Amino acid sequence: MASEVELDVVTRLLSKAQQIGWVATVRMGVRKALRPWLTRRHRAHVLRQPYRVEKQDLAAALGVAPEHLPAAVERVRLALTQRLPVSPESVGTIRELYEQRAPEVRHATIESADRICKHVFDLLGSGPTDLGATIDWHRDFKSGYRWNPDQCFLDVAHGHEAGVDIKVPWELSRGHHLVLLAQAALLTGDPQYTTECLAQLSSWIEANPTGFGVNWACPMDVAIRAVNWLWALALLVESPLITVDWLGDVIASLVAHGRFLMDNLEVRDDGVTTNHYLADLVGLLYLGLCLKEVRDAEGWTVFAVRALVREMDRQVLADGAHYESSLSYHRLVTEMFLSSALLCRCHGVELPPTFHNRLEKMCAFVEGYTKPNGLAPQVGDGDNGRLHMLTGYDHTDVRDHRHLLAVGAVLFDRTDWWAASGPSWVEGLWLGGIRCAAWSREQVPAKLGSVAFPTGGFYILRKARDYVLFNCNPPGTQGVGTHKHNDLLSLEIHLGGEDILVDSGCFLYTSDPQSYDRFRSTRYHSTVRVDQAEQNRLIPGKCFCLHPDSRLHPVQWEIGGPVEQVAADHDGYERFSHPVRHRRELRADWLNRSWQITDHLFSPVTGAHPHCLEWTLTFAPHCSLQPVETGWSVITPKQQLWLDGPRLFANGRPVAVSPRLDEEQMAVHYGSATRALFLRWSWEGALPVEGVFAISSAPPRSREDSRER
């Protein structure tokens, strides 16, 4: 047993060295060895409360004597009106555009703000929950668990009790709803929204001393909170309800946020950076550019700009896909880069052309993966994460990423993206897109065709309202696989404007590790499992990590005609003593509206050895299936489709299979699951094996007719 463990450690070490290099691997080992000592030293530093900013500290940060602090705060107030891409001069036009062109969005925005004024929140699958007259910022209101507000942030535990989700207080404290309240105040002129926003900010500051409690445990959330506070302040700062003393307290807390971030940047021991580190940088950029009067601000800005440019090259692949293998996190990262780019443009900070070129590709990727119904597939992990929500808070589907197209249209002057952004076009108004309101909002012609993102591993066949995503994205984040699922060669099929085969999504993280592993397992995706093993091994006791066992090998990409085809291999099962390779071919016949999938499972070496193969197809919750002679009838609210097969051939000879329908959970979004049908079939024997099934809009001929032909 010990030898097996040692062998696994050696294998993982060699794999890590292959991904990040031996120098980085050695550096990682040194950091891990020093971690206990470094942690003790950092804790001693934190307990001296270096981040806390009292009034005299704020005066020093603003470069004035304490008696001149009110005047300095007033100067910050005046400056904040011009520090975001939207200014007070734009508010009248935005209000008019909401009233005339987006009345339904205006109504939904105010309804959501009214619920927040009543302290009713719906976060991470909680359902509408009344948090009472006084919000408890330290409580997971889904489970009732409360963290100690006096505990040093370094000692805050998570994943320590089943069902307790640390993301709930984090999400609440990100303050997205504060921007909503500010917008409602500007759209209606009603001061109740301003009053509530100011009261909640005061309540949070009083209940969360800097560096203590659950809401300082994750620097990413500290950064996102700072961004949303700055948005709320900049939108409301002209209100007579904001006093100099109150504003001074908030600015002091924001200075503390910046100092905390600089001292607690999220870089892994192996040097790999993720969306967390990027969020830290965006928080520092916002603080540096919006609070220029603070002495630390220039250092924050210079550091953040330089690092943002570096992270664009590091985290974003050449075709525009983010390297963490998740479309939800691609949305978050794209939002962070777009917001940063527009903030820099507002302040005359130049970013290199290479940065903008790749950012434009990130938006093009969003356009490419968005389905005809306006929603994104749920590939990889997803926790509903956003930087800021400038439209749609609490009333739009979290799978709708089209707000990115609206913001991308503002930055890159793309009228086509503005038109394709759906009801999310109003998001662009808050990021400097007033001029874009004159652009056409007519329906975009069905001109999007099939498109490949080979570096990210996404191949999308599309025509009119039919769409198929062929998933070939490898374990990303330099092989760490932080948000990757075992979904190689899986399919997302959307036909006639309806989902048919879907990704099972992501339900929960550390509050339910068993569910997390189940939802990212091979068996929960529309692909093939071999010998009951994962395509990429899960690492026991570790979330957000996969062993990088697989590589993808695209073998075919033919588009442009009435029949389009894509095919690829993965070698994740070649680690076996009797190796297996899986090749999947997808053939789209657009004229006949038929999509055939052929799986080849074979050994790259000679010799026969039995293997157990299991296929899974995950159907959308609205689909029902009935057996028919040649396979299955698939019935949706709007149409009837036919699944022909499955048919299996072992060594060229047909073999019988007995498919079964399982009812399993699939995640609608983080924290919310529903029941759906999973069609599965298995076979055991020697390779090679070929499996074939097809989905079509017309019933297939009977098996007897097929044999006659």
d(CA 567, CA 17): 30
In this prediction, residues 392-417 reach a mean pLDDT of 96
Q: What residues contact 135, with CB distance under 8 A and at least 6 apart? A: 119, 172, 200, 203
Q: Is 588 left (phi over 0), alpha (psi -120 to 50) or beta?
A: beta
> CATH says 451-708 is which class?
mainly beta
Please report the pLDDT score of residue 351 as a whole number.
98
Model confidence at 391, pLDDT cuts 50, 70, 90, reads very high
- For residue 284, what are its two tokens? 């520092």
The pair of three-digit structure tokens given for residue 148, joined into one six-digit string? 């100690």
pLDDT tens figures, 670-685:
999 999 999 999 999 9
**Residue-level pLDDT at 37:** 76
Residue 605 CB coordination number (10 Å): 10
Beta strands in 35-143, from DSSP E residues, in sequence order: 120-121, 129-130
Question: Pick the residue with more confidence: 241 or 89?
Answer: 241
**pLDDT over 70 (residue 588):** yes
pTM for the model: 0.94
560 φ/ψ sector (left φ>0, alpha ψ -120 to 50, else beta): left
- DSSP assignment of 149-204 equals TTSBGGG---SSSTT--THHHHHHHT-HHHHHHHHHHHHH--HHHHHHHHHHHHHH
218: three-class secondary structure by DSSP:
coil
**Segment 284-338, tens digit of pLDDT:** 999 999 999 999 999 999 999 999 999 999 999 999 999 999 999 999 999 999 9
| Listed residue (241, 145, 151) closest to 189, CA to CA | 241
Q: Which segments of the chain belong to CATH 2.70.98.70?
A: 451-708
Q: pLDDT grade, residue 11 (50/70/90)? A: low
The mean-pLDDT minimum among 268-272, 373-377, 638-642 falls in 268-272
* pLDDT at residue number 20: 58
Could you say which DSSP state residue 599 is in? E
Mean pLDDT within 236-246: 96
- What sign has the CA pseudo-torsion 255, 304, 233, 78? positive
Residue 474, phi-psi category: left (phi > 0), alpha (psi -120 to 50), beta (remainder)? beta
- Token pair for residue 208? 């969360």
Distances (CA, A) of 288 to 83, 279, 297, 365, 608: 11, 14, 4, 30, 64
In tens, the pLDDT along 101-131 reads 999 999 999 999 999 999 999 999 999 999 9
pLDDT of residue 21: 64
Per-residue pLDDT tens digits for 530-555: 999 999 999 988 889 999 999 999 88
pLDDT at 705 over 80: no
Give residue-wise pLDDT tens across range 161-183. Answer: 999 999 999 999 999 999 999 99
Is the pLDDT at 704 greater than 80? The verdict is no
> Given pLDDT bands bounded at 50, 70 and 90, which one contains residue 14?
low
CA torsion, ordered 607, 609, 612, 616, to nearest 10 deg? 0
> Is the peptide bond prior to 688 cis by the omega test (within 30 degrees of 0)?
yes
By CB atoms closer than 10 A (0-12, 13-18, 19+), residue 184 is buried
The tokens of 8 are what? 């696994």
pLDDT at 699: 85
Give the Cα separation of 22 and 35 in Å (integer).
Answer: 20
